[in-house]
Chains A and B, each alone.
Chain A
Amino acid sequence: MTGLPGQAHHGLRYIRAGPDGRLYVSIGSPCNICQPQGLQGTIISVSPNGGDVQRAAWGIRNSVGFDWNGGTMYFTDNGADGMGDNTPPDELNELQPGAFYGFPYFGGRVRLRGFEAATPPGPQKPPVYEFQAHVATLGLHFYRGAMFPELRGEALIAEHGSWNRSTPVGYQVVRLRVGGNRSGNGQSFLSGIGRPVDVKELPDGSIVVSDDAGGRIWRVRR
């Protein structure tokens, strides 16, 4: 399919085939905080032949990671910059088809700068988990394998790391069992591996993590 927004800002797409056989594509909002236009700030789904484009979710700043667990899609969303070291949080969201996730009115449940008094177009579906501000949650993978049985059903989340915070945070992969606490930092799983972007699982249950700063794919196994 063609004709998608082509802006470079937040223009690094993420794409997955869903369990429903449709392709899901994230389209970022081309800014720090702004009103998205058209398909900006959405996750769309399309049929495998490129037709039947549907807006699966909107009101998103920039999602660079999603996966399914128990038939439900979860996606990360990067929080806005320039509002201080500790706000707004990065997000993990649960997909409710067609729902509005708050951007640019909310980041987490915090009103975003410049849109404090603006009226959102509808009720916000809040995140299921709020991460520390600026950790830059990107890739998300629910572990399914046997090599690390303690991880089964947990989300592994790549934190690309902060760039505008006085003390750097993130730069790690964390594990998180969705449905427990509503906020925090997860539990560190890997660190010292550069700037993690995506997390995937190989057929043997080993875990691979991409690092765009170091140009490496790391592999973790027993």
Chain B
Amino acid sequence: MPRTKPFPSSALASLTLAALVQTPCHAQAVHAPPGARIEVFARVPAARAMAVCGDTLYVGTKAGTVYGVPLVGGRPVRATSGLVAPMASPALETGSMLRPAIASRPSRPRPTAGLPIVPIS
């Protein structure tokens, strides 16, 4: 099994930006609702669709990997790799167990975080 390669967590280099930036709207100024704060929760390359499943936020990417970010904070870990453009991974209730499901183009998936990967058919 390939070694899990975590990415640096934003929790360590937390970039908490003022939510009440009183500058004109332009591309680089972060704007959020009054009273809210916005921060970088995680750094995931080419992050696309997301799904909350159990205590993990799964993130599909334009590359070949699905990452899992612990909701309590911490480093994103590779949940699977070897996929082609894996997108989203919603919670799918199977019996009493929640597990993510992944859609991708034709691929040869490799589990990297102890998660079994099986086609659903």
Question: Which residues of chain A have a CB within 8 Å of any CB of chain B?
Answer: 1-2, 6, 8, 11-17, 21, 23, 25, 46, 48-51, 64, 139, 148, 168, 171, 188-193, 197-198, 200-203, 208, 210-212, 215-222
Judge whether A6 and B38 touch: CB under 8 Å. no
Q: Is B1 an interface residue (CB 8 A)?
A: no
User: What is the distance, in angstroms, from B39's C-beta to the closest C-beta of chain A?
Assistant: 6
B77-121 vs A, CB cutoff 8 Å, 1 = contact: the mask equals 000000001011111111000000111111000000000000111
Judge whether A192 and B33 touch: CB under 8 Å. no
Question: Which residues of chain B have a CB within 8 Å of any CB of chain A?
Answer: 10, 21, 25-33, 35-52, 57, 59, 61-62, 69, 71, 85, 87-94, 101-106, 119-121
Known: A50-B120, A210-B49. A12 touches B44 (CB 8 A): no
Judge whether B27 and A171 touch: CB under 8 Å. yes
Judge whether A210 and B101 touch: CB under 8 Å. no
Give CA–CA (A50, B21) in the complex, Å.
48
Judge whether B89 and A15 touch: CB under 8 Å. yes
Judge whether A13 and B87 touch: CB under 8 Å. yes
Closest to A5 in B: B105
Judge whether B92 and A215 touch: CB under 8 Å. no
**Across the interface, which residues of A come within 8 angstroms of B38, CB to CB?**
190, 193, 218-220
Judge whether A21 and B71 touch: CB under 8 Å. no
Give CA–CA (A189, B35) in the complex, Å.
12
**Across the interface, which residues of B come within 8 angstroms of A16, CB to CB?**
51, 88, 90
Give CA–CA (A9, B90) in the complex, Å.
23
Judge whether B47 and A190 touch: CB under 8 Å. no
Closest to A147 in B: B36
Known: A1-B120, A48-B92, A217-B40. A197 touches B48 (CB 8 A): yes
Judge whether A15 and B120 touch: CB under 8 Å. no
Closest to B28 in A: A192
Judge whether B120 and A49 touch: CB under 8 Å. yes
Judge whether A15 and B87 touch: CB under 8 Å. yes
**Across the interface, which residues of B come within 8 angstroms of A191, CB to CB?**
25, 29-31
Closest to B21 in A: A192
For B32, B47, B71, B90, the residue with the greatest tally of chain A CB atoms inside 10 Å of its CB is B47
Judge whether A192 and B30 touch: CB under 8 Å. yes
Judge whether B101 and A15 touch: CB under 8 Å. yes
